[in-house]
Amino acid sequence: MVPRASQRIGPHVRTEDLPCSPRVIRHGRTTDKPHRVMKALITGAGGFVGHHLERHLLDAGDEVIATDRSTDGLDILDAAALLDLFRRSRPEVVYHLAGASDVGGSWQTPQATFRANAEGTLNVLWAAREAGTERVLTIGSADVYGKVAAADLPITEDLALRPVSPYAASKVSADYVALQAFLGYDQFVVRARPFNHLGPGQTDRFVAPALAGRVAANELEGENVVKVGNLSPKRDFTDVRDVVRAYRLLVDKGHAGQVYNVCSGTAIAVQELAEQFIAMAAIPMTLEADPDLQRPVDIPVLLGDNSRIVADTGWAPEIALHQTLEDLLDDRRRRLRSADA
Ligand code: A2R
């Protein structure tokens, strides 16, 4: 059986029957200034970024077809099922987020990572062409730049790609599959290259949600010490809600074939994140180095140059880091409370 995607029309209406669905009539917002409304398909909609993107598109009044292996069972490696979905739902634009996102885990699963990210992207682009989808946004990663020398900061899109992890190599491949679709088939593809993003719903694989989780757990247990790993690396963090806004702007205003860094243009030390979290804690806390959490730091500073996306789309990050961290901590508190209940 071919898996069916859920289609959400506006924020409140949902239908399971794609072929019979009426074209969108109601949109999420009516008060904002006029803007282009799109019929959008999101792959990987069940993931961290997918959830935020779906909410953002619905808020913008778009019609959203959400698909994800973890929710409707559609695997992007099943090209025939993918094409069937594209033909039945006829999206105008596709946000291709599905894929293997675990950088550390990719060392154990290089083949599966490569297939999900490179072959998966190939399938999505093919299905989009076959179904006449107008635009596709592919999501790469700043990991493709690898170990960047201080002299090359801030990183522009023109820097040579030097992937270190299997994940990064799979993203380089996916990015070149997308470039080939533009150069070889004249397909309208825009390629996003996001740096670190943060926000509610993120898993503990990443340093900020892991820190937020430890602070929230300490609050519940009355514990005052927060165990930390390396605090010195500096990273370019953007709130996931700003990232998904960038994605919609890229689909609307990005240039065909172009690649865009999605980043804040500011590098923040992990130390600063940790200090902000403990300053927000309900009880006094201190940071304590834990040798078990220390990992070799390959890249002391990662900092992106966002001038291209700013110039072409007018995007700029809007959510202050402090706000992001507060929302992350509240998210962890809520999740711990509901796990406790
Ligand atoms: O691995 P699962 O079963 O949790 O589902 C993930 C889904 N996914 C797939 N869906 C269909 N066919 C596949 N072969 C396939 N492989 C993975 O994509 C998951 O629900 C979603 C990815 O979500 P996250 O792992 O939470 O990643 P996140 O942070 O939302 O990143 C979105 C994109 C990825 O391309 C990242 O590499 C990039 O942004 O940074």
User: What does the pLDDT look like over 24-50, one tens digit per residue?
Assistant: 222 344 334 445 789 999 999 999 999
Ligand 1 atom closest to Cα of 117?
35
In eight-state DSSP terms, residue 118 is I
Asked if 42 and 59 touch (Cβ cutoff 8 Å), the reply is no
Cα–Cα distance measured from residue 260 to residue 142, given in angstroms and rounded to the nearest whole number: 10
- Model pTM score: 0.91
Ligand 1 atom closest to Cα of 203?
26
Using DSSP's 3-state secondary structure scheme, residue 88 falls into helix
Query: Tell me: the pLDDT tens digits for 204-233?
Result: 888 999 999 999 999 999 999 999 999 999
The percent of residues above 70 in pLDDT, for the chain, comes to 89
Element (H, E) at 6: strand 6-9
Q: Whose CA is nearest to atom 36 of ligand 1?
A: 101
Q: Whose CA is nearest to atom 29 of ligand 1?
A: 48
Phi, psi of 251 (to 5 degrees): -65, -40
Q: For the domain with range 6-203+236-267+300-319, which CATH number is right: 3.10.20.30, 3.40.50.720, 3.40.50.300, 3.30.70.920? A: 3.40.50.720
The owner of tokens 């402090």 is 322
Query: Tell me: the pLDDT tens digits for 231-270?
Result: 999 999 999 999 999 999 999 999 999 999 999 999 999 9
Q: Determine if ligand 1 sits within 6 Å of the CB of residue 47.
A: yes
How far is ligand 1, taken at its centre, from the CA of residue 282, in Å?
Answer: 34
Q: Determine if ligand 1 sits within 6 Å of the CB of residue 140.
A: no
Long-range contacts of residues 307-312, Cβ cutoff 8 Å, at least 24 apart: 307/156, 308/156, 308/157, 308/258, 308/260, 308/261, 309/246, 309/249, 309/250, 309/254, 309/260, 309/261, 309/262, 312/253, 312/254, 312/255, 312/258, 312/260
Q: Where are the domains of the chain?
A: 6-203+236-267+300-319
pLDDT at residue 8, rounded to an integer: 42
Q: Whose CA is nearest to atom 37 of ligand 1?
A: 101
How far is ligand 1, taken at its centre, from the CA of residue 223, in Å?
Answer: 35
Q: Which of 53, 58, 73, 54 lies closest to 24, judged by CA?
A: 58
Q: Determine if ligand 1 sits within 6 Å of the CB of residue 101.
A: yes
Ligand 1 atom closest to Cα of 75?
12
Angle at 167 between CA 331 and CA 71, to 5 degrees: 50
pLDDT at residue 299, rounded to an integer: 79
Q: Determine if ligand 1 sits within 6 Å of the CB of residue 97.
A: yes
Half-sphere exposure of 274 (CA within 13 A, CB side): 23
Tokens standing for residue 170: 């799979």
Asked if 191 and 140 touch (Cβ cutoff 8 Å), the reply is yes
Helices (H), the chain: 48-59, 69-72, 79-89, 110-114, 120-131, 166-185, 207-221, 240-253, 270-280, 307-313, 321-340
